[in-house]
């Protein structure tokens, strides 16, 4: 069984309970595979990044294999701005979609897209970031609050942030920092850093617990309390306000050439 969502954001929980921690989120238009059902809950796998968890059944539109195949092969547009306003053709109700939402069969001239039996008008589509660099795209998220499991401007965690920014450039990354660290090629010297490289940080046990996007060889943008820009060097991230290092550098990876 398969599904998608017409909600702007859907929480993915660790267990089938409203009180279970949120471990990630689905965004509008993303496709899922349904692997188990438990009363009002569905255990799903996100087909974007392979993440697995539980979602409220009411927030999912279940689809057939044929409908899934049709959507999966249709042209897709990933929304780039912080939010995109759309209007349901039938109900005339509007909603705001977060950056990274999926629009199927989007007609740029008519500002309209179609998904299954539903059609929508895009009220304010902005493609101005399409040629921007990774660091410049990341800066539009400055001051977004930190939220464990979050993937939108209204709440995002460190690995959700790096994953989403790369997604807006058409590049797929795993959901968690430790898995993102397995991708790309190592950058061994600080002076070799390029804008958009990923820096990973570990704890005292050597486990990778944080990731950020390098702007250059001495500044980084990352989600820690909020999306912020801090100083960076071979030791790690330095918080100038409190005059201390907050994260210990483990490695730097280049995902793109």
Q: How many CB atoms lie within 10 A of CB 105?
A: 15
Choosing from 14, 210, 247, 248, the catalytic residue is 210
H or E element at residue 211: strand 208-216
What whole-number distance in Å separates Cα of residue 16 and Cα of residue 20? 7
Quote the tokens at residue 256.
Answer: 């793109």
Burial (Cβ within 10 Å: 0-12, 13-18, ≥19) of residue 207: exposed
Q: Is 247 a catalytic residue?
A: no
Q: How far is CA 21 from CA 18, 24, 142, 206, in A?
A: 8, 9, 25, 25
Burial (Cβ within 10 Å: 0-12, 13-18, ≥19) of residue 133: middle
Q: Is 210 a catalytic residue?
A: yes
Q: Is 14 a catalytic residue?
A: no
End-to-end CA distance of the chain: 38
Quote the tokens at residue 178.
Answer: 């430790």
Q: How many CB atoms lie within 10 A of CB 142?
A: 12
Cβ(161)–Cβ(176) below 8 Å:
no
Q: How many CB atoms lie within 10 A of CB 6?
A: 17
Choosing from 14, 158, 191, 247, the catalytic residue is 158
Measured at the CA of 216, the angle between CA 99 and CA 250, to 5 degrees, comes to 90
Catalytic residues: 158, 210, 222
């Amino acid at each position: 069984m398969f599904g998608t969502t017409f909600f702007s954001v859907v929480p993915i929980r660790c267990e089938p309970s409203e009180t279970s921690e949120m471990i990630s989120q689905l965004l509008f238009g993303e496709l899922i595979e349904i692997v188990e059902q438990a009363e009002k809950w569905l255990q799903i796998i996100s087909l974007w990044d392979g993440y697995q968890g539980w979602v409220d059944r009411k927030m999912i539109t279940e689809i057939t294999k044929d409908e899934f195949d049709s959507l999966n092969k249709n042209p897709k547009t990933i929304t780039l701005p912080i939010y995109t306003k759309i209007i349901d053709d039938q109900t005339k109700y509007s909603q705001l979609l977060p950056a990274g939402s999926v629009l199927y069969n989007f007609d740029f001239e008519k500002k309209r897209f179609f998904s299954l039996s539903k059609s929508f008008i895009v009220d304010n589509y902005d493609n101005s970031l399409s040629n921007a660099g990774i660091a410049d795209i990341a800066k539009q998220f400055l001051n977004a609050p930190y939220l464990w499991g979050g993937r939108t401007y209204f709440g995002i965690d460190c690995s959700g942030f790096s994953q989403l920014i790369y997604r807006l450039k058409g590049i797929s990354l795993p959901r968690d920092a430790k898995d993102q660290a397995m991708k790309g090629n190592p950058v061994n010297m600080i002076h070799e850093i390029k804008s958009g490289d990923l820096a990973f940080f570990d704890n005292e046990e050597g486990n990778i617990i944080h990731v950020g996007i390098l702007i250059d060889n001495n500044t980084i943008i990352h989600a820690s309390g909020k999306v912020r820009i801090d100083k960076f060097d071979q030791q790690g991230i330095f918080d100038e306000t409190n005059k201390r290092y907050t994260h210990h550098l483990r490695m730097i990876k280049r995902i793109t050439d």
